[in-house]
Amino acid sequence: MTDRAPTQVLKNGALRYGIYDETTGALLRYEYIRPEDEPTQPGTPLTKMTLLSDETAAAIELEQEDPTVNQALAALAARGVLRLVPITLSASGWEGTAAPFTQTLAVSGVLADETKQGIWPTPASGSLTAWNDAVILAAEQGLNSLTFQARRKPAADISGYVLILKVHKVEA
């Protein structure tokens, strides 16, 4: 976000604006505007420092070159969103001849860095017994993937979900 820079500010506080022909784009004349009221409370000026300072943008971890207030609000709104991603661990997808058996699934939204989000795999209610009998857990994460381990190889497909919550600050 940047402050507007007028072409000219007069000593009396008036701003100069160019008036242009709509069809040709040629400058027709200059006009001046100056607030004439006497406010009882002048209020906070609408500037970059009062709307979205560089320090605030950095604290929110905005990556845009010149972020707007709208982009900052969108980034803040997205932070607290808990995503629920459905998964299926197929009976034929388990690898290995002895425990622990492994299966890697594509799970959209999973980051490689485990400090950037909380991930909670959970069985669907209809698969709870099979999930627990197989002793299934998420063992590794990669970009858009999770590798699951099972102590016992399941005989049927198991449905579940992965809950994903973005983490913004890791406390020591």
User: Which of 68-77, 90-99, 103-112 is predicted with the least confidence, judged by mean pLDDT?
Assistant: 68-77
Residues 87, 70 share a domain? no
Residues 130, 87 share a domain? yes
Q: Is residue 120 part of a domain?
A: yes
Collapsing DSSP to helix, strand or coil, 136 comes out as strand
Q: Is residue 87 part of a domain?
A: yes
Residues 73, 92 share a domain? no
Compute the distance between CA of residue 163 and CA of residue 13 in angstroms, rounded to an integer: 56
The answer to whether 139 and 115 are in contact (CB under 8 A) is no
Residue 105 pLDDT greater than 90, yes or no: yes
Residues 144, 89 share a domain? yes
Residues 159, 86 share a domain? yes
Cβ atoms < 10 Å from Cβ of 91: 14
Average pLDDT on 88-112 reads 95
Q: Is residue 11 part of a domain?
A: yes
Q: Record the pTM.
A: 0.57
The structural domain count of the chain equals 3
Q: Is residue 19 part of a domain?
A: yes
The predicted structure's pLDDT at residue 90 = 97
Q: Is residue 69 part of a domain?
A: yes
The predicted structure's pLDDT at residue 83 = 86
Q: Is residue 172 part of a domain?
A: no
**Strand 101-106 vs strand 82-89: parallel, antiparallel, or unpaired?**
unpaired
Last residue of a domain, one of 79, 97, 124: 79
User: Which of 39-43, 132-136, 145-149, 163-167 is predicted with the least confidence, judged by mean pLDDT?
Assistant: 39-43
Q: Which domain holds residue 60?
A: 47-79
Q: Is residue 149 part of a domain?
A: yes
Residues 94, 75 share a domain? no
Taking only Cα atoms into account, the Rg of the chain, rounded to an integer number of angstroms, comes to 29
Residues 125, 159 share a domain? yes
The predicted structure's pLDDT at residue 169 = 65
User: pLDDT tens digits for 27-60?
Assistant: 999 888 877 777 777 778 777 888 888 888 888 8
